[in-house]
Chains A and B, each alone.
Chain A
Amino acid sequence: MPSELPKSGLLRRLGACIALAAALAVAPAASGEELKIAVAADVTSIDPHFYNLFPNNNIAEHIFDKLVRMDADSKMIPGLAVSWKTIDATTWEYKLRKDAKFSDGTPVTAEDVAFSIDRVPTIPNSPGLFTPYTKSIVSKQIVDPYTIRLKYATPYPLSPNDLSTIYIVSKKAATGATTEDFNTGKATIGSGPYKFVRYVNGDRVELVRNDGYWGDKPAFDKVTFKIIKNPAARMAALLSGDVDAIEQPPTADLARLKNDPKLTLSSKISHRVIYFNFDNLDRSSPDVTGKDGKPLATNPLRDVRVRRAFSKAINRPAIAERVMEGQAVPSGQLVSSHLFGYVPTLKPDAYDPEGAKKLLAEAGYPNGFNVVLHGPSGRYVNDEQIIQAVAQMLTRVGINAKVETAPMGPYSAKASKQEYSVTMVGWGASTGESSSPLRSLIATYDTATGSGAVNWGRYSNPKVDYLITQALQQVDDANRLNMLQRATELAMSDVAIMPIHFQFTIWATRKGVQYTPRTDEYTLAYQFKVAR
């Protein structure tokens, strides 16, 4: 508050009222100045290489550029790189744009790109690095300040897809900088459409427009991301005018929101598949017991007939219709229909409880067994409700299911150590094609190559592995598509994981503000427009 204002509390409040009234009076003209957005999840760091986590990346998308960007449909478009091509079988060349500048005024050069790629694996204490996207790079060659060549060990068609996840930081500002230096803003120098102002852990992130940005000028000068985890509270913040836009309004409210003349909704199918993992280890599975309550010596989930029975027992349309209020598309595979690698002929298993019982009987469990389903609470849209509905449906075919949920952090820590038998989780194909889920969720777990990093069930099929490895080396798109599709078909016929649906991502904005919905779920301030 300016110092010349009177110090008395009453007078100050009066002054605030007058200021507020004045602000309200000029509000229509002022729209287009500041945008307040309520987001659903905590931002854990501003360092764009610290943790490959959706809420962190969502903020990094504003402050930092990438060589390759994704459009609203997860198709690659030029970012800092204006063009990219292969020079020989194993070398990619990226040409950088010459008008890109960091917010401190220095131009973005190939040196910064090389520095950023090198910085990725060096971050200490990271819960999840971006290394899967950089470790295939064998060497880098800076041809001139605006040309960089990346060399791979084998033909590597996914280089641009991989680089669409790596944020470019300023070599000058970030040399020797720690993650803490990014959080305070000291090293947070990027070339994105917005500049960093302030980050309050667990509360908010403030940004201001970067007028030196090379691309389209964002509509709003100032942006505040408020973190409001509870969906109902987020909704209330929008209705009361505290914020201009929110992500993930509660699905239960959608019918009412559609008819609210003061609000606009936008939605799009997400690239995120919601699915279940099955314990594939040869052991007495931790959460599986016989009907007598005693642990089973063998793990029934290793039998493909049992996994198929799970899948047939689930009424996916009912979940999409009743639990998700129509905001989901049932799925029988890893990526949604508009992404590369989708198999048009692969339909989700039809709801067939009798068929499920028959399969269980064939597998030697005519009376079923008991199982505990584990899942996150509050990470995905209606996650707890989905897992309970699945438990109901399994119980009806004889698989007595109990449900235990916990917040994503503690839950995923245990699930990733194979402490559970059946786990629900979601995966977004951030590279915009199906090799991302195939490599991370289906491929055999291997710390050396980074494959199967999120393969919680430890599913392993050498034939699928072979197809994935081969697909990754196919430079020809048609060949690669074919092999990715065959890998997907094989994995799905084996019920390697059990997909449930793709959720719709929904944004609600106040009238006068419009959002272009995105399949990658990002809430990007520069995609908001003023509607008149």
Chain B
Amino acid sequence: MAGLALFALLVAAALLAPLISPQNPYDLAQIDVLDSKLPPGSLGGAGRHFWLGTDDQGRDMLSAIFYGLRISLFVGIVSTVCALAIGMAAGLLAAYAGGRTETLVMRVVDIQLSFPAILIALILIAVLGQGVGKVIAALVTVQWAYYARTVRGVALVERRREYIEAARCLALSPARIVFRHLLPNCLPPLIVVATVQVAAAIALEATLSFLGLGLPITEPSLGLLIANGYQYLLSGKYWISFFPGIALLLTIVSINLVADQLRDVLNPRLAR
């Protein structure tokens, strides 16, 4: 429950970022390089307090974290939903059609899973270029295979169940069987995998940004904020990467806690 509460709080902070942030960190007219690298609690030039300090451009860290959280969660959730849709369709197709189609789809999945995710994402970003849409495209490409494999495994079991046979006997259309009967029964494990993958997508996006390959530098996500502050760690200006790091950590931990909880709730074998 703590995980869910924390996650809800972070999502609320991200959604309400424009309302609760002291500053819009993406509006260059609102940030001033003369306020750069101020320690937490300092008073800035415009008479405003920077409770978590400022980064090397004079951005208020608190506002930057709220907005960064927004990007990170948006990228994580959107890429997961897209990857889930694609992976689910591919997995169901493979399981239901069988034969050559199955072999083809599953070998593609195998090939994809044999490469480290970060490697594929790096290559894609290098080819596609930078931008939110392109990062999402890269994350979807990396992640759809996990869902395809999961859903195929479940669907293969479900396909042999009596209710599917019954549906077949009623001469329902294959599309109806797959989407109305097979799919709902495959969902529980998928939801758990998807939740964990949201956290993985956020971490991967942060990694890409940290390597300088994700999002534009004037609209930093959490990973980019950490990367910006990293070079100041040795000089004692810890707050530039420390606080975004904490925010990223809390996000990923809370999502994982929620996923754990979901797994327990959705697992019929677990005694309640």
Contact B36 A392 (CB under 8 A): no
Given contacts A232-B234, A391-B28, contact A385 B57 (CB under 8 A): yes
| Max count, chain B CB within 10 A of own CB: residue among A236, A252, A384 | A252
Q: Which of A299-319 contact B (CB under 8 A)?
A: 315, 318-319
Question: How far apart are the CA atoms of A400 and B230 in the complex, in Å?
Answer: 28
| Max count, chain B CB within 10 A of own CB: residue among A230, A322, A403 | A322
Contact A232 B231 (CB under 8 A): yes
Q: Which of A358-378 contact B (CB under 8 A)?
A: 377
Contact A392 B235 (CB under 8 A): no
Contact A388 B234 (CB under 8 A): no
B18 at the interface (CB under 8 A from A): no
Task: Write the chain B residue with the least CB distance to A404.
Answer: B216
Residues on B with beta carbons closer than 8 Å to the beta carbon of A231: 231
Contact A322 B33 (CB under 8 A): yes
Residues on B with beta carbons closer than 8 Å to the beta carbon of A401: 28
Q: Which listed residue (B57, B234, B237) contacts A392, Cβ 8 A?
A: B57
B236 at the interface (CB under 8 A from A): yes
Closest-CB distance, B39 to chain A (whole angstroms):
13
Question: How far apart are the CA atoms of A404 and B55 in the complex, in Å?
Answer: 19
B9 at the interface (CB under 8 A from A): no
A10 at the interface (CB under 8 A from B): no
Chain B: interface residue total (CB-CB under 8 A): 25
Contact B234 A405 (CB under 8 A): no
Contact A232 B233 (CB under 8 A): yes
Task: Write the chain B residue with the least CB distance to A397.
Answer: B29
Residues on A with beta carbons closer than 8 Å to the beta carbon of B234: 232, 235-236, 239, 250, 253, 256
Question: How far apart are the CA atoms of A93 and B220 in the complex, in Å?
Answer: 59
Residues on B with beta carbons closer than 8 Å to the beta carbon of A283: none
A486 at the interface (CB under 8 A from B): no
Contact A318 B33 (CB under 8 A): yes
Closest-CB distance, B134 to chain A (whole angstroms):
13
B56 at the interface (CB under 8 A from A): yes
> Chain A, interface size: which category?
20 to 34
Residues on B with beta carbons closer than 8 Å to the beta carbon of A236: 234
Contact A318 B56 (CB under 8 A): no
Residues on A with beta carbons closer than 8 Å to the beta carbon of B233: 232
Given contacts A323-B56, A391-B28, contact A250 B235 (CB under 8 A): yes
Contact A388 B218 (CB under 8 A): yes
Closest-CB distance, B120 to chain A (whole angstroms):
20
Residues on A with beta carbons closer than 8 Å to the beta carbon of B216: 402-404
Task: Write the chain A residue with the least CB distance to B231.
Answer: A232
Q: Which listed residue (A235, A253, A384, A395) contacts B217, Cβ 8 A?
A: A384
Residues on A with beta carbons closer than 8 Å to the beta carbon of B34: 318, 322
Question: How far apart are the CA atoms of A322 and B37 in the complex, in Å?
Answer: 9
Question: How far apart are the CA atoms of A400 and B31 in the complex, in Å?
Answer: 13
Task: Write the chain A residue with the least CB distance to B57.
Answer: A388
Residues on B with beta carbons closer than 8 Å to the beta carbon of A315: 33
A389 at the interface (CB under 8 A from B): yes
Q: Which listed residue (A230, A232, A391, A396) contacts B218, Cβ 8 A?
A: A391
Contact A253 B33 (CB under 8 A): no
Contact B56 A385 (CB under 8 A): yes
Contact B56 A392 (CB under 8 A): no
Closest-CB distance, A402 to chain B (whole angstroms):
6
Q: Which listed residue (B28, B36, B231, B236) contacts A322, Cβ 8 A?
A: B36
B212 at the interface (CB under 8 A from A): yes
Residues on A with beta carbons closer than 8 Å to the beta carbon of B212: 377
Question: How far apart are the CA atoms of A403 and B212 in the complex, in Å?
Answer: 13
Question: How far apart are the CA atoms of A456 and B27 in the complex, in Å?
Answer: 29
Q: Which listed residue (A230, A319, A394, A400) contacts B33, Cβ 8 A?
A: A319
A1 at the interface (CB under 8 A from B): no
Question: How far apart are the CA atoms of A153 and B216 in the complex, in Å?
Answer: 51
Residues on B with beta carbons closer than 8 Å to the beta carbon of A394: 28
* 0 or 1 for each of A378-419: is its CB under 8 Å from B? (1 = yes): 000000110011011111100011111100000000000000
18 further contact pairs, Cβ within 8 A, besides A232-B233, A253-B235, A392-B28: A232-B231, A232-B234, A239-B234, A250-B231, A250-B234, A252-B37, A256-B234, A315-B33, A318-B33, A322-B58, A385-B57, A388-B218, A389-B57, A392-B29, A392-B32, A392-B57, A396-B29, A405-B217
24 contacts between A and B (CB under 8 A): A230-B231, A231-B231, A232-B231, A232-B234, A250-B234, A252-B56, A252-B231, A252-B232, A252-B235, A252-B237, A318-B33, A322-B36, A377-B212, A388-B218, A389-B57, A392-B28, A392-B31, A394-B28, A395-B27, A396-B29, A402-B216, A403-B216, A404-B216, A404-B217
Q: Pick the 4 closest A-B CB pairs, nearest first.
A: A395-B28, A253-B235, A389-B33, A252-B235
Q: Which residues of B contact A (CB under 8 A)?
A: 27-29, 31-34, 36-37, 56-58, 130, 212, 216-218, 230-237
